[in-house]
Chain A
Amino acid sequence: SQKIEQNSEALNIQEGKTATLTCNYTNYSPAYLQWYRQDPGRGPVFLLLIRENEKEKRKERLKVTFDTTLKQSLFHITASQPADSATYLCALNTGTASKLTFGTGTRLQVTL
């Protein structure tokens, strides 16, 4: 069966540390993968997209890796801040080019 799993439902981390979130998938061959942030009571907000032929993408304090052999993406937030506390969702394109299938999400809590 096809699955997209994010490593843990919740992740607690101290301010200033690097948060690493994992997205694993089975039985998909996505052309690209995206990461979104969702705050309580709001819609998801796009953060980064990485294509199947890209190993790594960076944007400010964010870094995403994509390993199509391991079928895994890692999402890193360096120098994490309390404002980074949110739920992070990975999404794979599956089927048609515009169709996204979302992972289960990881709730990140950054404490002082």
Chain B
Amino acid sequence: DTAVSQTPKYLVTQMGNDKSIKCEQNLGHDTMYWYKQDSKKFLKIMFSYNNKELIINETVPNRFSPKSPDKAHLNLHINSLELGDSAVYFCASSPPVADYNEQFFGPGTRLTVL
């Protein structure tokens, strides 16, 4: 029954490693997002895909690469992890853009880079 799911929930890794976070939504939405929430709880958009096409790409290091194999999935791959990448990453989805509807968030993935 989970609407937006993410795996893993926790990720602890060393600097320099490459890691991926997976996101799936079963709401039939066209648009999916990745957000980063830092230690001060500030939530900031990173990427958005609409029907597998990238539509929002904020100023994010190119070590971060989103991939959308189909409109129900949006994965985030991070290369050469740095200490500053430690944060909680949230995936979200929303219905068609024209409806101005709400975004549905996943439970988050807490990434800790040591």
| Partner-B contacts on A (CB < 8 A) | 31-32, 34, 41-46, 49, 51, 87, 89, 93, 95-102, 104-105
B100 surroundings in chain A (CB, below 8 A): 31-32, 49, 51, 93, 97
Q: What separation, in Å, do the CA atoms of A49 and B100 have in the docked complex? A: 9
Q: Count A/B pairs, Cβ under 8 Å.
A: 60
Q: What separation, in Å, do the CA atoms of A93 and B106 have in the docked complex? A: 20
| Partner-A contacts on B (CB < 8 A) | 4, 31, 33, 40-45, 48, 50, 55-56, 90, 92, 94, 97-98, 100-108
B97 surroundings in chain A (CB, below 8 A): 96-98
Q: What separation, in Å, do the CA atoms of A6 and B97 have in the docked complex? A: 26
B48 surroundings in chain A (CB, below 8 A): 96, 98-99
Q: 4 shortest A-B CB distances, which residue pairs?
A: A43-B105, A46-B102, A102-B43, A97-B97
- Asked whether A49 lies within 8 Å of B43 as measured between CB atoms, the reply is no
In this complex, the member of B4, B33, B41, B48 whose beta carbon has the largest number of chain A beta carbons within 10 angstroms is B41
